[in-house]
Amino acid sequence: VQLQAFGGGLAQAGGSLSVSCEASRSIISIDDMGWYRQAPGEERELVATISNGGFTNTADSVKGRFFITRDSAKNSVHLQMNNLRPEDTAVYYCYAGNVLFYNYDNAPVAARAAWGQGTLVTVSS
């Protein structure tokens, strides 16, 4: 399974950016989708996830500023980031949890997790 991320870039503090991610068309089902981030010298941390039922889990550091939505029909997830802060600077990774997909032999395969390639978000002060 492949996750293709879009968006990110450079913003000033207080500004807004968004990142989106779409899973490949071989998907059968995905339980959770979302975003993690990793700042230089730091460990990867949760930003927000959303279940296939629409339940969200958002890090305290971004609550009220970042909003996650999902289009299950398109196997895509979108993160709107408002009121950005310099500490939001990181590489943002798309995540899909408990993925069921077809492999190249058209057989169903289960994966506990899949990750996108990462997209850089830089917030200047």
Residue-wise pLDDT tens digits, 3-43:
999 999 999 999 999 999 999 878 999 999 999 999 999 99
Judge whether 39 and 89 are in contact, CB under 8 Å: yes
Q: Region 74-98: what's the mean pLDDT?
A: 97
Per-residue pLDDT, 123: 98
Average pLDDT, rounded, for the chain:
96
Pairing of strands 9-12, 119-124: parallel
Confidence grade of residue 96 (pLDDT, cut at 50, 70, 90):
very high
Confidence grade of residue 65 (pLDDT, cut at 50, 70, 90):
very high
Per-residue pLDDT, 24: 82
Nearest to 68 by CA among 95, 86, 91: 95
Per-residue pLDDT, 81: 98
Residues facing 37 on adjacent strands: 45, 92
Nearest to 46 by CA among 89, 92, 1: 92
C-alpha span between 103 and 8 (Å, rounded): 30
What single-letter DSSP state applies at residue 123?
Answer: E
- The CA-atom distances, in angstroms, between 51 and each of 11, 43, 102, 104, 107 are 29, 23, 21, 27, 25
What single-letter DSSP state applies at residue 118?
Answer: -
Per-residue pLDDT, 1: 82
Q: Region 105-123: what's the mean pLDDT?
A: 95
Question: In 3-state terms, what secondary structure has residue 81?
Answer: strand
